[in-house]
Structure 1
Amino acid sequence: MNQPQVFDRALVSKYDFPGPRYTSYPTAPQFHEAFAVDDYRQATETSNGAPLPKPLSVYVHIPFCMSLCYYCACNKIITQKTEKAAEYLDYLKREIALQAELFDTGRRLTQLHLGGGTPTYFTDEQFAELMDALRQAFHFDTRSAHEFSVEVDPRTVTPERVYGLRKLGFNRLSFGLQDFDTDVQVAVNRIQSEGEVRDLVEAARRSGFDSISIDLIYGLPLQSVESFDATLGKVIDLRPDRIAAYSYAHLPSLFKAQRLIRPEHMPPAERKLELLELTIQRLIAAGYVYIGMDHFALPDDELALALRNGTLQRNFQGYSTHADCDLIGLGVSAIGKVANSYSQNVKELSQYYARLDAGHLPILRGYQLNEDDRLRREVIMALMCHGRIDMAHFERRYDIEFPHYFADSLDQLSGHIADGLVAIKDGEVRLLPQGTLMMRSVAMAFDAYLSEGQNGLFSRTV
């Protein structure tokens, strides 16, 4: 994929409108409740019956948090009643058992990701209990290529706990940092010191984690170019393997917690573009490779290597180095992808418990892909992961004439072509260096489900 070379603020602003992140296609607004547990069971049978069944990936959602971060739009439960975690773990183990019954025992589990909420809300003992349940239910891949990751709130762990996570089998850590500036931290109710984070990063290195990632957010209240520049300098000094710099979507009408942010503290729209430009310049100058979307990695990191050799993947956790897996979602609101289907669990804890008490999988809704969906998904993922669409490849694979089948899509790219973001030449649709930041807007041209009424469902594309 081409690396961004010139940050044209006018062009970035022009193409900065609401659009999907394309961690799936079709995207979540297309999921519906007509997709039921029986449909999911059929998908698992199809998956098991494939000539070469895919490896398995598991996502576990742990929704609890000790305190409220005002910017957060995740599905979470704020509580200091830690006994709730023990109850939730008991139900997770029930769901693990129900899911494991549906998959052939010989299939390797190569990816595991714990997200939230705050996964480290669980105690060390509860983590061990969860991992034991997963090991008993699934065939863990212990080869060097496996990827077992956990999201960590630096305020909830000690260096000793980091060592404990490594002993349990996790080999990747993602630290939610967001910003080092004290005023910004107070404004979003998430206070953590540079010293605490540095100690944890060093502990992760000493304990042998294969990859350390740090998450940042630009566009938060009270952020300035100067303050975020200081944060970037400190993060670069920590030298994590990967950095994710997310654009903050301030939608207080949708997310109640964001109403606690004082409106006068929000930066103007042009500030966000300044912060994005700064982030790209600083990280690339520091030797990081732009992977795509919000992601950067060191040149010898697996993500950067996958980008170079054309094996980069994209799933609900973002960019990945692994081949396409069947994803099993566990916990409230978790999303899975099995065979040619998506499924999502209920979002309310009471409903989650009630369905498992009845012995049922807690699936609320989902989607079964048709052939057009599968084609468009592959086209969009080729663009998002490799920066190019090889028309001949898709013509052979789907027996289509690409320019005819996607005539409307190609017409929609006329503005991108005129602005020097995309080229259609020699049988390829290719992102140009100036267009890499706007790849989501390019992908939207191939989305058959977008409409005017969906704009409010997505974050802005830049």
Structure 2
Amino acid sequence: MDSNLIKWDLDLIKRYDLSGPRYTSYPTAVQFDPELSSSDLVTTGQQSADLNAPLSLYVHIPFCAHVCYYCACNKVITRNRKKAQPYLDTLYKEMAQLSKWYSNDRHVTQLHWGGGTPTFISHDQMRELMGQMRTHFNLLDDDSGDYSIEIDPREASEETIQVLRDIGFNRISLGLQDIDPKVQEAVNRVQSVEQTAAILEEARRQGFRSLNIDLIYGLPYQTFDGFNETLDTVIEMNPDRLSVFNYAHLPDRFRPQRHIDESTLPSPETKLAILESTISKLLAAGYVYIGMDHFAKPDDELAIAQNTGKLHRNFQGYTTHSECDLVAMGVSAISQIGSVYYQNQHEMQAYTDAVESEQHAIKRGVCLTQDDIIRRHVITQLICHFELEKAAIETLYGIQFDQYFADAQRELSAFTADGLIQMDKKRISVSPAGRLLIRRICMAFDAYIPKDHSSQRFSRII
């Protein structure tokens, strides 16, 4: 299916733009239960994992030297670089335990360092951390894996990029958000275009094979013309992938957002106009719309995976590694092992204490039922590929699709009548107008969301 077919239908967007999950997992983190015992979660994970399949590893490095006011990540704001080593020492203890549980010498085909600001740590600490990962897990040494890291250009030099390439990274993701100095000052992230371009150029020189840039629309003082200028500049930088996120202003939940004056935020109408223009510009520039804020060049592995039916979605967003268990380490990190999800302690001290006493930091999680697994498959198929064959689901799980999902039929009929999907006895296809509302379509298959949508625990879809 041509994923570049996007139709902008303002009437549908206004009617269906509710709050909804981003479906980086199903069930979502809202269903994680702190009462479940960590030993039960680990045992179920080990028993349900495919020990012959490859692994994906995630490391959370929470430190930031400066606070970005829009940020909703789990982070520790400090300029004291000495705080990093005690955290890393704790991380290594956790890593040793996770290796005993899940490694089995499985190849690590995907690896990601996120944060916070992973480049907060020193070059020597970067080498040490990757060395520890190689000690405890079977990392590839032929550059064939997807080994990525998030970079703040203000916290990285050309030498940093050389070090990262030397220790095995081949993908980077840069935070940029907006190039307008007024917007940057309002969110406390002043970063020149030259800084960002210099990091990109060095990454290309060093042979990184995929470069991503993150943008955010909906920030204070953003205008339609201003964001288009940002887009023109970024298109000129020629990244392989782009993530264009919607800023969700939730100051009650995220303390740094209280620094943002709500009256300076663009109106909902302006945000929609920015999004429409963003999609048009990026498609015209040759990018493919992957879905859910993500764009990639046609020859990028994400676009190829979507074309070949191999795209997947997990806690890191869209990925090409559906066969992997995700082993995550560090404060607040979320793992997906077999039919289990679990999350580590959110607070630094609680994380440290837990690892010291238990060798792990599991706080809450969920064991998937067969119903969860079936619904996850359907949601993942739709959110990654915008279509599904009912017979494939029926054969795999021994169900009769329409009968099994009788609870979703009323909503699916409404989506069909409104032109969001086409549905017959054999398949469901998301229409060009429905693709921007894919989160809303997936909600029809979510057993945990009341059908009256009274639960509003998520950000708005658009």
- Determine if the TM-score, normalized by the shorter chain, exceeds 0.5: yes
Asked if residue 6 in structure 1 is aligned to residue 7 in structure 2, the reply is: yes
Q: Which residue of 2 aligns with 1:121?
A: 120
Query: Equivalent residues in 2 for 1:54-203 (5 A)?
Result: 54-203=53-202
The gaps in structure 2 that reach 5 residues or longer are: none
* Distance in 2 between residues matched to 1:180 and 1:273, nearest whole Å: 19
* Alpha-carbon offset, residue 103 of structure 1: 2.2
* Alpha-carbon offset, residue 426 of structure 1: 4.6
Query: Equivalent residues in 2 for 1:252-291 (5 A)?
Result: 252-291=251-290
Provide, for residues 120-140 of structure 1, a one-character-per-residue CA deviation record: whole Å limited to 9, x for no partner: 111111111100000000011
Provide, for residues 166-194 of structure 1, a one-character-per-residue CA deviation record: whole Å limited to 9, x for no partner: 11100100001100111100110000000
* Alpha-carbon offset, residue 80 of structure 1: 1.0
TM-score of the two chains, using structure 2 as the length reference: 0.97
Query: Equivalent residues in 2 for 1:360-371 (5 A)?
Result: 360-371=359-370
| Aligned AA (2:93) | R
Q: Which residue of 2 aligns with 1:247?
A: 246
* Distance in 2 between residues matched to 1:399 and 1:323, nearest whole Å: 22
* Distance in 1 between residues matched to 2:6 and 2:320, nearest whole Å: 25
Asked if residue 429 in structure 1 is aligned to residue 418 in structure 2, the reply is: no
Q: Which residue of 2 aligns with 1:38?
A: 39
Q: Is the 8 A contact 1:4 1:437 kept in 2?
A: no
Provide, for residues 97-153 of structure 1, a one-character-per-residue CA deviation record: whole Å limited to 9, x for no partner: 111111243211111111111111111111111000000000112345411100001
Q: Which residue of 1 aligns with 2:460?
A: 460
Q: Which residue of 2 aligns with 1:395?
A: 394
Q: CA-atom RMSD, angstroms? A: 1.4
* Distance in 1 between residues matched to 2:435 and 2:45, nearest whole Å: 36
| Aligned AA (1:421) | L
* Distance in 2 between residues matched to 1:59 and 1:216, nearest whole Å: 22
* Distance in 2 between residues matched to 1:454 and 1:159, nearest whole Å: 50
* Distance in 1 between residues matched to 2:413 and 2:461, nearest whole Å: 18
% same residue: 47
* Distance in 2 between residues matched to 1:81 and 1:145, nearest whole Å: 36
* Distance in 1 between residues matched to 2:223 and 2:440, nearest whole Å: 27
Q: Is the 8 A contact 1:314 1:320 kept in 2?
A: yes
* Alpha-carbon offset, residue 53 of structure 1: 2.8
Q: Which residue of 1 aligns with 2:338?
A: 339
| Aligned AA (1:459) | S
Q: Is the 8 A contact 2:4 2:283 kept in 1?
A: no
Structure 1, 374-383 or 305-314: larger mean CA deviation: 305-314
Ranges of 4+ aligned residues in structure 1 off by more than 3 Å: 142-145, 452-456
Q: Is the 8 A contact 1:74 1:117 kept in 2?
A: yes
Query: Equivalent residues in 2 for 1:281-430 (5 A)?
Result: 281-430=280-429
SS of residue paired to 1:446: coil
* Alpha-carbon offset, residue 415 of structure 1: 2.4
The gaps in structure 1 that reach 5 residues or longer are: none
Q: How many correspondences in the alignment?
A: 460
Q: Is the 8 A contact 1:47 1:53 kept in 2?
A: no
TM-score of the two chains, using structure 1 as the length reference: 0.97
Provide, for residues 370-390 of structure 1, a one-character-per-residue CA deviation record: whole Å limited to 9, x for no partner: 000000000000101111121
* Alpha-carbon offset, residue 41 of structure 1: 2.5
* Distance in 2 between residues matched to 1:327 and 1:104, nearest whole Å: 11
| Aligned AA (1:413) | L
Provide, for residues 267-309 of structure 1, a one-character-per-residue CA deviation record: whole Å limited to 9, x for no partner: 1111110110011011000000000110000111111111111
* Distance in 2 between residues matched to 1:4 and 1:406, nearest whole Å: 28
